[in-house]
Amino acid sequence: MQGTQGIQRHRTIFISDVHLGTRGCRSDFLIDFLRRTESEQLYLVGDIVDGWRLRKSWYWQPEFDEVMRLILEKAKRGTRIVYIPGNHDEMFRQWLGLQVAGVTIAGEAVHEAADGRRYLVLHGDEFDGVIRYAKFLSYLGDWAYDIALLLNRWFNAARLRLGYPYWSLSQWLKRQVKEAVKAIDRFETALALEARRRGLDGVVCGHIHHAEMREVHGVLYMNDGDWVESCTALVEDFDGRFRLIDWVAENRFPMWRPAARAAEAVPA
């Protein structure tokens, strides 16, 4: 819903996989999103801060502080905020059940929509076999993802000079790899079946950087995407309907500007 002065108003907003602390984080677009949206509830669905990357080398920009400030400001103004840590910010899982500066930290949540339907909300890494059973393989994937994002950067710099809009080469490459497609499908199916097992109407998650809304085994699977490659959010409007917002496409932003920061790996 479009409000006055260009503010979009929603009942609920879900965002994840921001990866503050990495060069690949599009905090500039997220700041714009946070300033121009309002909601009664905001779910931070994991990997907001990238502890993995910060442990390797410290990288923190003033823009990252601004993201945190805007989130806390929303809490101060009355937005109900639930922070569900993911695998990259798992250090916050030791604080589950606490409320810090108006933000509730939880391992998962059940969200009741305006129409009464109920949805499981969790990051999703516990349903990812690579993360759960072979974390070292995830770090190996970090290296491959680094190359994909670097190629993505130069590819889109060339497109920008030719007058073409942003197009995610890294997302396209991910979709072309048969095993990656199979892994995404297994992930989506596992989460949908868990929601159905609990008697819920659907599930909201992040983790795999792949925004999606579709019915799986009779329940609604919704992934809010990320703020590295796609800059997407999931929103619930006041009638209980959900939709994905692609903030870059909606605002016709050039995803990769000539002075864009170098890409850095952000694995799932």
Is residue 16 within 8 A of residue 226, CB to CB? The reply is yes
- pLDDT of 19: 96
Rounded-to-integer distance, Cα 166 and Cα 189, Å:
30
Residue 58 lies in a domain: yes
Residue 183 lies in a domain: yes
Three-class DSSP category at 120? strand
Residue 265 lies in a domain: no
Residue 110 lies in a domain: yes
Give me the domain span that covers residue 145: 4-251
Rounded-to-integer distance, Cα 70 and Cα 85, Å:
18
- pLDDT of 3: 43
- pLDDT of 265: 47
Is residue 31 within 8 A of residue 100, CB to CB? The reply is no
- pLDDT of 172: 60
CA–CA distances in Å: residue 141 to residues 61, 147, 179? 25, 10, 13
The count of structural domains within the chain is 1
Q: What tens digit of pLDDT does each residue of 196-243 get? A: 999 999 999 999 988 999 999 999 999 999 999 889 999 999 999 999
Please tell me whether the overall predicted TM-score, pTM, comes out greater than 0.85 for this model: no
Domain of 114, CATH number, reads 3.60.21.10
- pLDDT of 89: 96
Sites in the chain below the pLDDT cut of 70: 1-5, 129-152, 154-157, 159, 164-182, 255-268
Residue 121 lies in a domain: yes
- pLDDT of 167: 62
- pLDDT of 161: 73
- pLDDT of 92: 97
Residue 226 lies in a domain: yes
- pLDDT of 158: 73
